[in-house]
Amino acid sequence: VEQYHTRHILIRTNEAVSEADAKARIDQIRDRIMRGAKFADMAKLYSEDGSNAKGGDMGWVTLGDLVPDFEKAMVALPIGQLSQPVRTSFGWHLIEVEGKRNQDVSSDHEKMAVKQQIRSRKMEQAYADWVRQLRDSAFVEEHLDDK
């Protein structure tokens, strides 16, 4: 599986921030990076995403983990190069790919599948125990009417 070590900066669009304002902000941030500001520093200061504390570092991501517009730009980007602003449903992004690798994740998928099976069995058993307790504690009273 192809994976990408990616950083990003996100400026969200919403009721309070217009499309034009968000685009202008991301353009200003890009200009500062192109003039020598560090991507990680700009992400910490301006990114409106949970990865901002880590300088925008998203770690290693696999295709399919992210929205298509982001992935399309990420895949096309050479390592170490700053993207043009990218529009997604979340807002405007700047992307920087720090590395690419092919990772064998088949054993990880097998482990997750086994954990899921165990979890399912435990849930089924807990449900059966719960139903049994309900039945055991239920009190049914029959009234026969003599007519």
pTM of the model: 0.70
**Looking at the predicted structure, is the pLDDT value of residue 15 above 80?**
yes
CATH 3.30.70.270 fits 2-102, yes or no: no
Q: How confident is the model at residue 109 (pLDDT cuts 50, 70, 90)?
A: low
How many of the other CB atoms lie within 10 Å of CB of 46? 18
- Environment class of residue 91 by beta-carbon count within 10 Å: exposed (0-12), middle (13-18) or buried (19+)? buried
The H-assigned helical ranges of the chain are 19-34, 39-46, 68-76, 106-137
Sorted by where each begins, the domain ranges of the chain are 2-102, 104-137
- The pLDDT value given to residue 119: 81
- The pLDDT value given to residue 45: 96
Q: What is the mean pLDDT of residues 38-48?
A: 96
Kindly report, residue by residue over 116-127, the tens digit of the pLDDT.
778 877 888 887
- The pLDDT value given to residue 64: 87
